[in-house]
């Protein structure tokens, strides 16, 4: 066996045969002589031993994991935004521990420097007064937030979580390409890339000395918890909402760290303190990890056009009652022109050189600097001084070479130099990706994350690598089709395997659950929409089954049936009603708002259901074909309901979802009965509610006669044991109500509980003979009133 032609070495050689290093740039895998670096050899030998089929299988496993976890990438183009597969390059970037320590030392120094500079810019302003930063640069920056001047952060520090984009230059030296201090994203993505990559190479990963990531997140979580007050309802991530391109990451990391995920409208400010609107009333919170830019946090004092934040939050911060991670106004540190001044400021404030240089930058607002860069324009990239994008993120950097209008640009730089910076064009190192069966070199940069804990700056030993396409080594744009990869920091020694679990032994029960009103509202509506969707499917199935039998849409019963459907805006001619698709879209919308509270399986089931409905809409025929399609959709929605009922913990949110379902089902059944049991209904009409109520067999068993008005009303309105009956659902509703906060306060029934009891009782004491159609109408109206009361008490 050992004599096969494909020994690992041969295969490895084959993989590397076509590995083309780019002239004049460094490479991660190989040194200048083309020798594989020591830190890669173990992985490379392992990888080289895999057959191409095995590699494909492993990659597929990683991709499957990402899809199952709901990781996607939102891409924006002219036609709006679409979700596409997460562009993971399965080959990690591997760095040596000793090199990592050099990077760490440089970035810790830099993080401390940024903290000091920010404290000065919002404090004494000595850097400006002493001429180390031009006043104009700060005053013109839209991220220098005047309402926050003079505010000392409650935690003692402005910056708690920062990220740095770093890249390796041609001489092998690491460079800082940009500082991320506003609301750095990507730590959650780094974690997901790690999990996916370890699914691809589980055997290799588990026995390699790769630094683990969990410890970093655990310490960051503990730090934020320690910053909160005793009486707080928790720590929360403040997200712009589900339409932002990084929302998935927000939901994922909220779940991972056990933080609430809040949007602006979940919060209000009372007496200078931030409060969460929950189903149990307003509850205080004092730590918000914001994932939106500072200026959007408070539309009253900051960006007046923001629709994302909460008015009053800036004041809560100013009064020292709220810690924002990072402090409001931290975006000012991201201004590209800052890179021109930081080296000297470091010297000035700390008496040290920058350990890791940043990309050489000149601010054209200074005459001497401007003349220098214009005279060396061939080696420079120019761009807006106050921009906070990274050098390679957008095409806003330009060269004065080969530009048709370079004279105009040059003149602009002469006239309004303070609006421009120049940066030395830098070539990034390359790293291998696996394409077309071989390893190929692609340019990359790494985002490194650091958090401030009790003991100082803590670095995530890994990171989020972005890999460019093969068009050049200086431009990387994920939006344009690049890839991402995990970053491994390999140690020569055994590494500690950390987990998120707290160190204490025995068992610790976490705090009582806090349910924001908006989340409760979305769960309530998810319950209603999913019930309405199911009802629509049952209607369509029953209609098309009858259509198949009679083949005459003008038959009295079918016309009667069609009329009912039209009343509900269901077009009987449409095989898969538009209303059904719309309802499923709404259900997805509600679920999308609460991704942090909703299992990935539940989400996947819902998405699968919705996709199937749209698919059937394209190619289904009326009659039998449609009835069969509905059958499949009903099975899928039962699968979804099953997941929700069998697997979801019965926390308060689950109750709101079930309340939505119960009230929707009861009111739909009331409307169905009212219509089909009306005295002038055509023959066969009474069978329809029984069919839709999934009760044909029960009816046969319980009543020895065929359907008549009394048996139908008995079974579908008054039966205590039939889950499709109105009475059953009202009982359910009242039971859930018992568990809601604020019910039974001071031993008094709430208005809502009273109204529920009244309706329940009125129905319970009826008999089939005494239940008139007008009473069914009353039930529907009373249910609307119950929804209003519920909403006023809990959902606002």
Partner 1 sequence: MLYDVILKISYEYEYAATGGRHLLHLMPAHIEGRQHLITGYLDIKPRPNERTDKYDAFNNAVSHVVYYLDHPEISFNLKARIDCLPQNSGLNMSPNLAGLRAELSSINSLAPDSPYHYLGNSPRVRINEAMTSFAYTQINDQMNAISIVENIGMALHREMTFDPEATTVETPAEEAFEKRTGVCQDYTHIMISCLRGIGIPAGYVSGFIRTIPPEGTERLEGADAMHAWVRAWCGIENGWIEFDPTNAMFINTDHIVVAYGRDYSDIAPVKGVLKTYGEQNTTQAVDVIPVKSNELMNL
SS3 at position 493: coil
Torsion from C-alpha of 244, 246, 249, 255, nearest 10 degrees: -20
- Measured CA to CA in angstroms, residue 792 lies from 400, 417, 509, 521, 589 at distances of 62, 57, 31, 11, 22
Which is closer to partner 1, CB of 68 or CB of 407? 407
- Sheet holding 273-278: strands in order across? 267-270, 273-278, 281-284
Q: How far is the CB of 455 from partner 1 (least distance, A)?
A: 34
Q: How far is the CB of 160 from partner 1 (least distance, A)?
A: 24
Which is closer to partner 1, CB of 140 or CB of 212? 140
Q: How far is the CB of 139 from partner 1 (least distance, A)?
A: 4
Of 188, 312, 516, 653, the one binding partner 1 (CB under 8 A) is 312
CA distance 600 to 643: 11
Tell me which residue has tokens 């390796």.
168
- DSSP secondary structure letters along 582-636: HHHHHHHHHHHTTGGGS-HHHHHHHHHHHHHHHHHHHH--TTHHHHHHHHHHHHH
Of 79, 130, 368, 375, the one binding partner 1 (CB under 8 A) is 130
Which is closer to partner 1, CB of 151 or CB of 540? 151
Considering the rule CB under 8 A, would residue 123 count as an interface residue with partner 1?
Answer: no
Considering the rule CB under 8 A, would residue 299 count as an interface residue with partner 1?
Answer: yes
- Sheet holding 420-424: strands in order across? 361-363, 420-424, 380-384
Considering the rule CB under 8 A, would residue 135 count as an interface residue with partner 1?
Answer: yes
CA distance 105 to 109: 6
Which is closer to partner 1, CB of 207 or CB of 270? 270
Nearest Cα to Cα of residue 447 among 176, 143, 263? 176
Token couple for 608: 């699968």
Which is closer to partner 1, CB of 67 or CB of 146? 146
Which is closer to partner 1, CB of 311 or CB of 589? 311
State the binding string over 136-165 for partner 1 (x if CB under 8 A, else -).
Answer: x-xxx-x---xx-x----------------
Q: How far is the CB of 141 from partner 1 (least distance, A)?
A: 9
Using an 8 Å Cβ cutoff, are 110 and 356 in contact?
yes
Which is closer to partner 1, CB of 312 or CB of 468? 312
Of 60, 129, 408, 678, the one binding partner 1 (CB under 8 A) is 129
Which is closer to partner 1, CB of 270 or CB of 754? 270
Of 27, 97, 143, 301, the one binding partner 1 (CB under 8 A) is 301
SS3 at position 717: helix
Which is closer to partner 1, CB of 125 or CB of 641? 125
Q: What share of the chain is helix, strand, coil (3-state, %, to 5)?
A: 50, 15, 35
Instruction: State the number of binding residues for partner 1 (CB under 8 A).
Output: 26
Considering the rule CB under 8 A, would residue 271 count as an interface residue with partner 1?
Answer: yes
Strand partners for 85: 72
| DSSP tag of 70 | T
Q: How far is the CB of 632 from partner 1 (least distance, A)?
A: 42
Per-residue buried b or exposed e for 265-304, using 16+ beta carbons within 10 Å of the residue's own CB: bbbbbeeebbbbbbbbebebbbbbbbbbbbbbbbbbbbbe
- DSSP secondary structure letters along 134-195: -HHHHHH-TTS-GGGTTPPPTTS-S-SEEEEEEEE-TTS-EEEEEEE-SS---HHHHHHHHH
Which is closer to partner 1, CB of 80 or CB of 131? 131
* Piece in contact with partner 1 (CB under 8 A), picked from 301-309, 322-330, 609-617, 785-793: 301-309
Q: How far is the CB of 181 from partner 1 (least distance, A)?
A: 19
Which is closer to partner 1, CB of 301 or CB of 534? 301
Q: How far is the CB of 274 from partner 1 (least distance, A)?
A: 13
* Piece in contact with partner 1 (CB under 8 A), picked from 123-131, 201-209, 435-443, 699-707: 123-131
Strand partners for 444: 467
Which is closer to partner 1, CB of 312 or CB of 461? 312
> Footprint of partner 1 on residues 34-63 (CB under 8 A)?
none
Of 24, 80, 131, 506, the one binding partner 1 (CB under 8 A) is 131
Which is closer to partner 1, CB of 82 or CB of 126? 126
| DSSP tag of 479 | G
SS3 at position 129: helix
Q: How far is the CB of 145 from partner 1 (least distance, A)?
A: 9
Q: How far is the CB of 122 from partner 1 (least distance, A)?
A: 10
CA distance 675 to 490: 71
Considering the rule CB under 8 A, would residue 470 count as an interface residue with partner 1?
Answer: no
Considering the rule CB under 8 A, would residue 328 count as an interface residue with partner 1?
Answer: no
Q: How far is the CB of 208 from partner 1 (least distance, A)?
A: 52
Strand partners for 277: 282
Q: How far is the CB of 515 from partner 1 (least distance, A)?
A: 21
Considering the rule CB under 8 A, would residue 368 count as an interface residue with partner 1?
Answer: no
Considering the rule CB under 8 A, would residue 84 count as an interface residue with partner 1?
Answer: no
Which is closer to partner 1, CB of 265 or CB of 780? 265
Which is closer to partner 1, CB of 203 or CB of 304? 304
Strand partners for 456: 453
Which is closer to partner 1, CB of 300 or CB of 377? 300
Which is closer to partner 1, CB of 299 or CB of 572? 299
Return all residues near 526 (Cβ < 8 A) that are at least 6 apart.
Answer: 587, 590, 591, 594, 657, 660
> Footprint of partner 1 on residues 479-538 (CB under 8 A)?
none
Using an 8 Å Cβ cutoff, are 224 and 478 in contact?
no
Of 14, 75, 112, 125, the one binding partner 1 (CB under 8 A) is 125
Torsion from C-alpha of 636, 640, 642, 645, nearest 10 degrees: -160
* Piece in contact with partner 1 (CB under 8 A), picked from 19-27, 132-140, 585-593, 636-644: 132-140
Strand partners for 600: none
* Piece in contact with partner 1 (CB under 8 A), picked from 110-118, 131-139, 601-609, 751-759: 131-139
CA distance 42 to 102: 23
CA distance 402 to 179: 30
> Footprint of partner 1 on residues 550-589 (CB under 8 A)?
none
- DSSP secondary structure letters along 507-559: --PPPPP--BHHHHHHHHHHHHHHHHHHHHHHHHHHHHHHHHHH--TTSHHHH
Q: How far is the CB of 414 from partner 1 (least distance, A)?
A: 14
> Footprint of partner 1 on residues 603-662 (CB under 8 A)?
none
> Footprint of partner 1 on residues 241-270 (CB under 8 A)?
268-270
Which is closer to partner 1, CB of 23 or CB of 304? 304
Q: How far is the CB of 312 from partner 1 (least distance, A)?
A: 5
- DSSP secondary structure letters along 621-688: -TTHHHHHHHHHHHHHHHHHHHHHHHHS---HHHHHHHHHHHHHHHHHHHHHHHHHTSTTPPTTTTHH
Token couple for 416: 């309004």
* Piece in contact with partner 1 (CB under 8 A), picked from 12-20, 122-130, 158-166, 387-395: 122-130
Considering the rule CB under 8 A, would residue 315 count as an interface residue with partner 1?
Answer: yes
Token couple for 519: 């989340």
Using an 8 Å Cβ cutoff, are 433 and 465 in contact?
no
Q: How far is the CB of 125 from partner 1 (least distance, A)?
A: 5
Of 23, 171, 304, 496, the one binding partner 1 (CB under 8 A) is 304
Task: Report the interface residues with partner 1, using CB under 8 A.
Answer: 125, 128-131, 135-136, 138-140, 142, 146-147, 149, 268-271, 299-301, 303-304, 311-312, 315
């Amino acid at each position: 066996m050992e004599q096969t032609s494909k020994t690992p070495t041969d295969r490895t050689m084959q993989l590397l045969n076509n590995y083309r290093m780019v002239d004049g740039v460094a490479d991660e895998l190989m040194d200048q002589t083309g020798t594989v670096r020591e830190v890669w050899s173990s992985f490379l030998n392992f990888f080289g031993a895999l057959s191409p089929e095995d590699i494909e299988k492993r990659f597929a496993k990683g991709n499957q994991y990402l899809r199952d976890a709901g990781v996607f990438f939102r891409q924006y183009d002219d036609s709006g935004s679409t979700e596409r597969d997460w562009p993971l390059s399965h080959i990690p970037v591997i760095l040596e521990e000793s090199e990592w320590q050099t990077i760490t030392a440089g970035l810790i120094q830099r993080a401390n420097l940024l903290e000091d500079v920010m404290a000065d810019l919002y404090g004494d302003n000595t850097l400006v007064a002493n001429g180390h930063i031009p006043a104009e640069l700060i005053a013109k920056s839209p991220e220098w937030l005047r309402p926050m001047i003079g505010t000392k952060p409650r935690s003692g520090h402005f910056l708690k979580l920062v990220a740095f984009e770093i890249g390796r230059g041609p001489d092998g030296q690491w460079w800082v390409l940009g500082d991320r201090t506003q609301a750095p994203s990507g730590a959650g993505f780094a974690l997901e890339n790690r999990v996916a990559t370890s699914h691809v190479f589980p055997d290799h990963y588990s026995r390699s000395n790769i630094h683990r990531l969990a410890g970093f997140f655990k310490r960051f979580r503990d730090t934020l918890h320690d910053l909160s007050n005793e009486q707080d309802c928790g720590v929360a991530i403040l997200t712009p909402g589900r339409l932002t391109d990084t929302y998935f990451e927000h939901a994922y990391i909220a779940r991972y760290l056990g933080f609430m995920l809040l949007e602006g409208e979940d919060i209000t400010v009372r007496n200078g303190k931030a409060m969460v609107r929950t189903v149990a009333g307003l509850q205080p919170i004092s730590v918000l990890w914001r994932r939106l830019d500072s200026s959007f946090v408070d539309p009253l004092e900051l960006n007046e056009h923001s629709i994302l934040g909460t008015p009053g939050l800036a004041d809560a911060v100013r009064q020292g009652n709220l810690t924002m991670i990072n402090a409001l106004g931290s975006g000012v540190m991201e201004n590209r022109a800052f890179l021109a001044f930081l080296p000297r400021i470091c010297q000035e404030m700390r008496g040290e050189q920058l350990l890791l240089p940043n990309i050489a930058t000149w601010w054209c607002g200074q005459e001497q600097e401007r003349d220098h860069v214009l005279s060396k324009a061939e080696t420079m990239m120019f761009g807006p001084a106050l921009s906070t994008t990274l050098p390679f993120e957008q095409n806003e950097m330009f060269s004065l070479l080969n530009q048709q209008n370079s004279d105009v640009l040059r003149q602009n730089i002469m006239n309004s130099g303070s609006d421009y910076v120049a940066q030395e064009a830098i070539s990034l190192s390359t790293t291998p990706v696996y394409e077309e069966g071989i390893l190929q070199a692609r340019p990359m940069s790494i985002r490194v994350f650091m958090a401030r804990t009790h003991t100082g700056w803590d670095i995530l030993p890994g990171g989020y690598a972005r890999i460019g396409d093969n068009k050049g080594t200086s431009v990387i744009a994920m939006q344009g089709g690049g890839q991402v990869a995990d970053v491994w920091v390999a140690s020569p020694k055994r590494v500690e395997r950390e987990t998120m679990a707290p160190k204490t032994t025995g068992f610790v029960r976490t705090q009582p659950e806090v349910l924001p009103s908006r989340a409760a509202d979305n769960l309530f509506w998810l319950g209603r929409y999913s019930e309405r969707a199911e009802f629509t499917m049952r209607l369509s199935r029953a209609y098309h089954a009858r259509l198949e039998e009679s083949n005459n849409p003008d038959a009295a019963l079918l016309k009667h049936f069609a009329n009912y459907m039209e009343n509900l805006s269901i077009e009987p001619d449409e095989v898969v009603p538009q209303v059904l698709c719309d309802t499923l879209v709404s259900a997805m919308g509600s679920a999308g708002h609460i991704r942090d509270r909703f299992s990935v399986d539940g989400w996947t089931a819902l998405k699968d259901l919705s996709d199937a409905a749209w698919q059937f809409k394209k190619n289904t025929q009326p009659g039998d074909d449609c009835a069969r399609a509905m059958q499949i959709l009903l099975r899928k929605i039962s699968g979804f309901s099953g997941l929700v009922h069998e697997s979801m913990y019965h926390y308060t949110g689950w109750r709101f979802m079930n309340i939505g379902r119960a009230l929707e089902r009861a009111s739909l059944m009331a409307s169905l009965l009212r219509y089909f049991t009306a005295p002038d209904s055509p023959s066969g009409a009474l069978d329809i509610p029984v069919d839709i109520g999934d009760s044909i067999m029960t009816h046969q068993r319980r009543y020895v006669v065929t359907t008549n008005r009394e048996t139908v009303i008995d079974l579908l309105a008054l039966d205590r044991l039939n889950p499709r009956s109105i009475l059953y659902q009202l009982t359910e509703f009242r039971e859930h109500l018992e568990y809601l906060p604020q019910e039974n306060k001071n031993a008094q029934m709430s208005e809502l509980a009273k109204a529920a009891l009244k309706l329940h009782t009125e129905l319970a004491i009826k008999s089939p003979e005494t239940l008139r159609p007008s009473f069914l109408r009353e039930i529907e109206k009373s249910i609307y009133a119950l929804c209003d009361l519920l909403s006023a008490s809990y959902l606002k």
